[in-house]
Amino acid sequence: MKLVVMIPAYNEEKTVGSVIREIPDKIPGVEFVESLVIDDGSTDKTAKVAEQAGAHKILFHETNLGLGVSFRDGINYALDMGADIIVNIDADGQFNPKDISRLIEPILKGEADFVTASRFLDKDAGFRMPWIKKNRQQDIYQNSEPFDESRTYRYPMWI
């Protein structure tokens, strides 16, 4: 089983290195863990810092194409790398890479084909999120309908 952790990045030289270094080398049930940084036309040293931190692969867009294109390119390249599981995390440290094993556990157990995370479940995580983003997203989250598990479905992944 191969896991590719993809990290879209735009001008994240200050944080991308620590994110890469915190990705676990070994996860039970996973034979290979590799990191893939998608540098979306950064004008700083994001790619250089990612390389020095040990990123396995770095894709580089000559110009900033946006998160959607970076995500698409990352998924396609991760599949070309032979990924069985792909995890996407931010380059700015908003997500703790040490949580990756917990995130993929339902996939490894055959209980899910797709898993997503919520930054609001960890009440202490707010310090890592920019103030404007934190307040706006929490406002949306708190004013939404309660989560209804009966409205969730397990779909097979189509590739």
Query: Which DSSP string do the residues of 60-94 spell out, in sequence order?
Result: E-SS---HHHHHHHHHHHHHHTT-SEEEE--TTSS
In this structure, are residues 27 and 101 in contact, taking their beta carbons and an 8 Å threshold? yes
Residue 98 corresponds to which tokens in the numbers above?
């040490």
For residue 131, how many other CB atoms are within 10 A of its CB?
A: 8
Q: What is the mean pLDDT of residues 118-138?
A: 57
Structure tokens at 115: 């898993």
pLDDT tens digits, residue range 12-65? 999 999 999 999 999 999 999 999 999 999 999 999 999 999 999 999 999 999
User: Which residues are bridge partners to 119 per DSSP?
Assistant: none
pLDDT band at 156 (very low <50, low <70, confident <90, very high): very low
Return the higher-pLDDT residue of 64 and 130: 64
Q: Quote the pLDDT of residue 133.
A: 55
Question: What's the pLDDT score for residue 158?
Answer: 35
Measure Cα distances from 2 to 30, 55, 85 in Å.
Answer: 6, 15, 6
* Locus of tokens 């039970």: 28
pLDDT in the model for residue 131: 56
Give the mean pLDDT of the chain: 82
Q: What is the pLDDT of residues 76-125, one digit of tens each?
A: 999 999 999 999 999 998 888 988 999 999 999 998 888 887 666 666 65
Q: What per-residue confidence (pLDDT) applies to 96?
A: 87
pLDDT of 113: 87
Burial 52-66 (b: 16+ CB within 10 A, else e): ebebbbbbebeeeee
- For residues 124-141, give the mean pLDDT: 53
First-residue to last-residue Cα distance in the chain: 17
* CATH, domain range 2-117: 3.90.550.10
Instruction: Report d(CA 67, CA 31) in Å as an integer.
Output: 29
